[in-house]
Amino acid sequence: MKFSGTMIELGCIRQFALVIGSLARLAKLCVLRITRTHLYFIINEPGTVHRAPGLWAELDQGHYFSTVTMSGVSEEHNEIFLEFEPDKLSGTLSVFKSNNAAVRNLKIKLAKKLSPCLTLEMQMPSFSEHARTVVHDVPVLPLPRRQWHLYQEPEMPHFTASIYLPPLKKLRHVVERMKNLSSSLTLAANRKGTLVLSVTSDAANVSTYFRNLTMPTWDLEGAASQMDEEQLHSATVEIKKLISFLAGEQIGPCKVICNIVDDRMVHLFLLHDDVILQYFLPAARSS
């Protein structure tokens, strides 16, 4: 089992740090799956049926790393699964979140020190000839093959409405205000580009309408397309969880798709040039 990769571009390193940062906000434990071409970060929502993932992030190695060497558990199963605490990894990378961070390169490798570790070596710029190197070790737990099946790619849910979200910053502000009114929020969308966020409490009912949003075109729709276009499809989710996802705006996604499975789930799909983040929010209760 071997893995080592070097990042030299500051933009990539920063992006990587932001992705890990948003993982840290979402969960205490996270699984890193390394294949020949990609890195996957997987968070399993505790308590869900079949341990369906709460988050699935896909990073293209070719984009992030200038050089990668990787060999999996065996020839046949050329993959590595590691469990780690994203908070710890995020802490080591936190220096890169600021805009004036400087680093020559960042090398990530799987090492066996006292225990298995992800070792991060950062070459810091220096004015003298002697390079400064900072090394962080983040403990990891390699997962045995019998557990791998728990972390397979999630299936696309059979959603009833799908819509591109308005700018996350704006959305986040609305959701944060709503959080102070209630603990659960209903997301509803129709096929005419309307998205409705609403909360109900003893003191007030509040609904925010975003209109004329664009909608992604999916070719996997069947009979569903015959439904009334005005009909709103909704699911009620915990506001706290939605907020922690919306904090992902830092990644600067090109597009965020929101898929709603009536009363069951909200599936958020964050697309960026080199990161794909999928977030599965189970419905808190039917509205």
The window from 91-99, 136-144, 202-210, 250-258 that contacts other proteins (CB under 8 A) reads 202-210
One residue of 44, 184, 190, 244 binding other proteins per CB under 8 A = 190
- Is 237 a binding residue for other proteins by CB under 8 A? The answer is no
Least distance from C-beta 173 to other proteins, angstroms?
5
The single residue among 51, 132, 145, 170 that binds other proteins, judged by CB under 8 A, is 170
Closest CA to 163 of 198, 189, 187, 197: 189
Residue 214: CB minimum distance to other proteins, A: 14
Q: Which helix (H) or strand (E) holds 63?
A: helix 61-64
Q: How many CB atoms lie within 10 A of CB 4?
A: 16
CB of 240 to other proteins, least distance (A): 16
206, burial (CB in 10 Å: exposed 0-12, middle 13-18, buried 19+): middle
CB-based contacts of 131-138 (< 8 A; 24+ apart in sequence): 131/104, 136/92, 137/111, 137/113, 138/84, 138/85, 138/88, 138/89, 138/92
**Site track for other proteins across 205-234, x = CB under 8 A:** xxxxxxxx-----------------x-x-x
- Nearest to 58, CA basis, from 248, 277, 256: 277
Judged by CB, which is closer to other proteins: 46, or 167? 167
Q: Residues 102 to 141: which contact other proteins by CB under 8 A?
A: none
**Both structure tokens of 156:** 């696309």
284 binds other proteins (CB under 8 A): no
Work out the end-to-end distance of the chain between its first and last CA atoms, rounded to an integer number of angstroms. Answer: 48
Q: Which of 99, 180 has the CB closer to other proteins?
A: 180
Does 15 engage in binding with other proteins (CB under 8 A)? no
In whole angstroms, the minimum distance from the beta carbon of 217 to other proteins comes to 23
What is the token pair recorded at 147?
């557990």
Q: Are 247 and 25 in contact (CB under 8 A)?
A: yes
- Count of CA atoms in the C-beta half-sphere (13 A) of 146: 0
Residue 247 within binding range of other proteins, rule CB under 8 A: no
| 180 belongs to the binding site for other proteins (CB under 8 A) | yes
In this structure, what token pair is assigned to residue 257? 């798709």
Q: How far apart are CA 28 and CA 207, in angstroms?
A: 33
Structure tokens at 34: 């390394």
183 makes contact with other proteins (CB under 8 A): no
Binding residue count for other proteins, defined by CB under 8 A: 30
Please report whether residue 148 would count as binding other proteins according to CB under 8 A. Answer: no
202 contacts other proteins (rule: CB under 8 A): yes
Binding-site ranges for other proteins (CB under 8 A): 166, 170, 173-174, 177-178, 180-181, 186, 188, 190, 194, 196, 198, 201-212, 230, 232, 234, 287
